[in-house]
Structure 1
Amino acid sequence: MSGQELISKKELLELTGISYGQLYRWKRKQLIPEDWFIRKSTFTGQETFFPRELILSRIDKIINMKEDLSLDELADKLSPYSYDLNLRKDEIMKRNIVSSVVMERFAARDPANTVYAFEQILFLYVADRLLQDGAMNLDEGELLLSVLKEHFPKFEGKACELIFIRKMGVPVFALVSMPAELHFESGAKVVARVPLAECAERLKLMLT
């Protein structure tokens, strides 16, 4: 997937006014996903960075909701896939949440007033991002959507990652629990690794 703007831990704490202790307490309570803590080498040594847009939106939500909810209740509320929203097909296209190319290829039989649940929109959104990044073609998109529909529900809301590999031109998609360390045979090219929880968060930002 395409690059994202990062924010350093130091800048994040200064910008939001939260403490180091709060940040790591929220991480322990799973209010902030583990995979948002990105370790990078800098000229001063190892530093921690975050996806800027996602972390700022998440901290704003935590601060605004923590007066009324316990941290455990907040964790349930902020689970990436628990988003109670249905959207009509024509609204998805009008708001450019998913491109018309994807909708015409993968949802052509659905009338304009068809209502999609958040999970269905997420699958189309992931396919759209990979197509726009040039990582896959439309035929591979068919395979991707069938894998997501069949296997994503088995994770029951737990963090998982989409792995897309090719070997000798043959595409293979897999869903794995996170964090996962994967090793492939020689000749297999990892085309994309997509954390689905992060995609869900980005989609939520587009929908709100």
Structure 2
Amino acid sequence: MSEELISKKDLLDLAGISYGQLYRWKRKDLIPEDWFIRKSTFTGQETFFPKVKILERINKIQLMKENLSLDELADMFSPNIADLQLEKDELVKRNIVSTTVLDYYLEIEKGGPTFNFSRILEVYVLEKLLQSGEINLDEGKMLLQVLLDNKSVIKQKNAELVITRKLGVSSCLLLINTENFQFERGTKIVTQLSLMGCMEEIKSKLL
């Protein structure tokens, strides 16, 4: 699968923003450097962006910039909240996870009641996919194991979870900075989830 790209000109027209705004947000790290993709065209070098990701990000910035400064937005879009600690009851209260999924997570993960951001992300992803009905409990256990085994890698940019099924057998992959990927014929992609997007969703709930 390859991401659909959008040119800078089309992006500015579609989003209704100026060149100056776009690059000010880039300087503030609201838009990742690696989303600015330089390509050769018949008119020379042009800049393109991953269409879905950039439009979602610009929409979030425009919705939230009335209430948050650009620095606060940059903190929200940053992949790291190193010092965050929440008790499990607080996770339920803030609507990050349900009690049922939290108990299932702790049964597998065997950790204590205090959650750092890595654990919050793991339980949030589990909640999101189980509650949507996209995966079953066995697949949830499989994806959780992938997250637990790759804690350090997940903090990198553009980490994505992909769950596939073929002939009733499920697989879970963690992709890092991948623009496109292909599977053998007959493989169904059950879900493709941006972990950076999940981090942003969690932060918006915490804010």
Query: Fold conserved (TM > 0.5)?
Result: yes
The correspondence for 1:56, drawn from 57, 62, 73, is 62
Distance 1:58 1:151, change over 3 A: farther
Query: Structure 1 residue 76: deviation in Å?
Result: 7.9
- 2:51 is aligned with 1:39: yes
Q: TM-score, normalising length from structure 1?
A: 0.71
Name stretches of at least 5 consecutive residues in structure 1 with no aligned partner. 1-7, 41-47, 67-73
- The alignment-based identity, stated in percent, is 39
Please give the per-residue CA displacement for 1:156-188, whole angstroms capped at 9, x wherever unaligned. Answer: 433211111111111111111124201100111
Query: Who is 1:180 aligned against?
Result: 179
Distance 1:161 1:87, change over 3 A: same
- 2:76 is aligned with 1:101: no
Distance 1:10 1:136, change over 3 A: same
Distance 1:57 1:150, change over 3 A: farther
Query: Who is 1:130 aligned against?
Result: 129
Name stretches of at least 5 consecutive residues in structure 2 with no aligned partner. 1-10, 37-48
- 2:77 is aligned with 1:65: no
SS at match of 1:50: helix
Query: Structure 1 residue 151: deviation in Å?
Result: 1.6
Query: Who is 1:195 aligned against?
Result: 194
- Structure 2 distance, partners of 1:11, 1:60, is 21
- Structure 2 distance, partners of 1:78, 1:104, is 28
Query: Who is 2:79 aligned against?
Result: 80
Query: Structure 1 residue 12: deviation in Å?
Result: 5.5
Query: How many positions carry a matched residue from both structures?
Result: 181
Query: Structure 1 residue 24: deviation in Å?
Result: 3.2
